[in-house]
Amino acid sequence: MVTAIISIALGVLYIPLTYLIAWLTPLPFIVTIVVGIYFWPIIMVAYLMRKPGAALFAALVSFLVLIPFTPYGITVLSMALLLGVPIELILMAGRYKFRLWNLMLAGAVAGLIYITGQFTAFGLAIVAPSLQVILYIEAIIGGAILGGLIAKWIGDAVFKTGVISNPNES
Query: In the chain, what are the domains?
Result: 2-165 (1.10.1760)
Does residue 66 contact residue 15 with C-beta atoms inside 8 Å? Answer: yes
Sign of torsion over alpha carbons 126, 129, 130, 135: positive
For position 126, what pLDDT does the model report? 87
Rounded-to-integer distance, Cα 109 and Cα 56, Å: 14
What's the pLDDT at 1? 83
Please list the ranges in the chain whose pLDDT falls under 50: none
Report pLDDT for 170: 57
Query: Model pTM?
Result: 0.92
